A and B are shown apart, each in its own frame.
Chain A
Amino acid sequence: AQTVTQSQPEMSVQEAETVTLSCTYDTSESNYYLFWYKQPPSRQMILVIRQEAYKQQNATENRFSVNFQKAAKSFSLKISDSQLGDTAMYFCAFILLRETSGSRLTFGEGTQLTVNP
């Protein structure tokens, strides 16, 4: 079974600064995707960034980037130039790319990020 662990329940950062959220996962499979989702107070889950396991290059999306260390099974999210609107719960998630797995996400516990003005 796959597991995802986020060891930081809460984090805070000053506006315009950089923050890194940590995530580790465990799997014996080699073909999978990793995601960071953001859940603001409105409760809708929003995809922030995706990383395909077969890609060595780290994914980036504007101010968001990841540090994907496949051997270490680590997948951290860096948010640069933090904005007040980044305040949300962030979830790390994992999905296997296997016919029988379908679209089943395994989520971490979440990290509540607060951006202070």
Chain B
Amino acid sequence: KAGVTQTPRYLIKTRGQQVTLSCSPISGHRSVSWYQQTPGQGLQFLFEYFSETQRNKGNFPGRFSGRQFSNSRSEMNVSTLELGDSALYLCASTLYTGELFFGEGSRLTVL
């Protein structure tokens, strides 16, 4: 069974640009959640999608957005990138609340 797949694994952007990250969950999982990991702030919840609807949202500015498609794949978008957006972005998929499976992450560097 394939795991959670995140693309791209690494990317470099400059301030002011936008970026889109993709997450393909484990087959059959309908919930996808996103986390930002930085050395200073640790792991912070961004948002969760379930059956194409945003079910939960963390405390991030509106520049961070996401969506989920009918096949449960999810994308997150960050517009007007800032240096502080440099982070590892982790995606997790779940079949039920008690078990989340993480992808390998997308490492974003903003110059």
Contact = CB atoms under 8 A, between A and B. Distances in A.
Interface of A: 33, 37, 42-47, 50, 52, 91, 95, 97, 100-110
B101 to A, nearest CB: 8
B98 A50 contact: yes
Contacts of A107: 35, 42-43
A45 B97 contact: no
Interface string B72-98: 000000000000000010101010011
Given A97-B97, A102-B50, A102-B56, A45 B33 contact: no
Contacts, number: 65
A61 B97 CA distance: 20
B4 to A, nearest CB: 9
* Chain A contact residues, majority secondary structure: mixed
Nearest to B95: A103
Given A42-B104, A50-B98, A105-B92, 13 more contacts: A45-B102, A97-B97, A101-B97, A102-B33, A102-B97, A103-B31, A103-B33, A105-B33, A105-B35, A105-B100, A106-B45, A107-B35, A107-B42
Nearest to A96: B97
A22 B50 CA distance: 33
Contact of A47 (B42, B43, B100, B103): B100
Given A91-B43, A104-B33, A107-B43, A52 B98 contact: yes
15 contacts: A44-B103, A44-B104, A47-B100, A50-B98, A50-B99, A52-B98, A95-B100, A97-B97, A100-B56, A101-B56, A102-B50, A103-B31, A104-B45, A104-B58, A105-B45
